A and B are shown apart, each in its own frame.
Chain A
Amino acid sequence: MSRPELQAPPEIYYGDSVAKKYTTNTRVQRIQAEMTNRALELLALPPDGAPSLLLDIGCGSGLSGEILDELGHIWVGMDVAPSMLEIALEREVEGDLFLHDIGQGFGFRPGTFDGAISISVIQWLLNAETSSPLSAPPARLSRFFRTLHALLRNPSRAVLQFYPSSDDQIALVTSAARKAGFGGGVVVDFPNSKKARKVFLCLMVGEQSMPKGKDGVEGEIADEEAADARFEKRRQRLKERKGKKRNIKDRDWIIKKKEKYRTKGKEGVPRDSKYTGRKRKAAF
Chain B
Amino acid sequence: MVRLLTHNLLACHARNCTSNNFPLELRDVSVALREADYSEDFLRGFIPRLEWPALVQAAKQLGEDSLPEEPLDPATATEEQLKALHHVLLEVHIEEGSMVCPGCQHVYPISNGIPNMLLAEHELARS
CA distance A139 to B116 in the complex (A): 21
Interface assignment of A164: CB less than 8 Å from any CB of chain B: no
For A146, give its contact among B9, B22, B127 (CB under 8 Å): B127
A97 pairs with B114, CB closer than 8 A = yes
For B121, give its contact among A132, A282, A284 (CB under 8 Å): A132
Interface assignment of A85: CB less than 8 Å from any CB of chain B: yes
Interface assignment of B79: CB less than 8 Å from any CB of chain A: no
Q: Mark A247-269, 1 if CB is under 8 A from B, else 0.
A: 01100011001000100001111
Residues in B whose Cβ lies below 8 Å from that of A52: 42
A107 pairs with B127, CB closer than 8 A = no
A284 pairs with B118, CB closer than 8 A = no
A107 pairs with B114, CB closer than 8 A = no
CA distance A182 to B42 in the complex (A): 26
B2 pairs with A107, CB closer than 8 A = no
For B37, give its contact among A72, A78, A100, A146 (CB under 8 Å): A72
B49 pairs with A97, CB closer than 8 A = no
CA distance A109 to B50 in the complex (A): 10
CA distance A99 to B108 in the complex (A): 10
Interface assignment of A143: CB less than 8 Å from any CB of chain B: yes
Interface assignment of B55: CB less than 8 Å from any CB of chain A: no
Lowest 9 A-B CB distances belong to which pairs? Answer: A107-B13, A50-B41, A100-B117, A142-B127, A143-B127, A51-B42, A282-B112, A139-B127, A249-B34
A89-B112, A267-B63 in contact; A96/B124 too (CB < 8 A)?
no
B112 pairs with A280, CB closer than 8 A = yes
Residues in B whose Cβ lies below 8 Å from that of A74: 5, 42, 90
Residues in A whose Cβ lies below 8 Å from that of B42: 50-53, 74
Greatest chain B CB density within 10 A among A138, A269, A280 is at A280
Interface assignment of A283: CB less than 8 Å from any CB of chain B: yes
A143 pairs with B41, CB closer than 8 A = no
B118 pairs with A99, CB closer than 8 A = yes
CA distance A85 to B116 in the complex (A): 11
Min CB–CB distance B44 → chain A (angstroms):
9
Q: Mark A79-104, 1 if CB is under 8 A from B, else 0.
A: 01000010001000011111111001
- Residues 105-141 of A contacting B (Cβ, < 8 Å): 105-109, 111-112, 130, 132, 134-135, 138-140
**A176 (CB) vs chain B CBs: closest residue:** B127
Interface assignment of B11: CB less than 8 Å from any CB of chain A: yes
CA distance A96 to B34 in the complex (A): 12
Given A130-B121, A280-B112, A284-B114, list of 19 further CB < 8 A pairs? A74-B5, A74-B42, A95-B1, A100-B118, A107-B10, A107-B117, A108-B9, A108-B11, A109-B9, A109-B10, A109-B22, A111-B49, A112-B9, A139-B127, A147-B13, A249-B33, A282-B112, A282-B114, A283-B112
Min CB–CB distance B46 → chain A (angstroms):
7
Residues in B whose Cβ lies below 8 Å from that of A78: 117
**A112 (CB) vs chain B CBs: closest residue:** B9
For B49, give its contact among A94, A112, A283 (CB under 8 Å): A112
A112-B49, A280-B112, A284-B111 in contact; A266/B63 too (CB < 8 A)?
yes
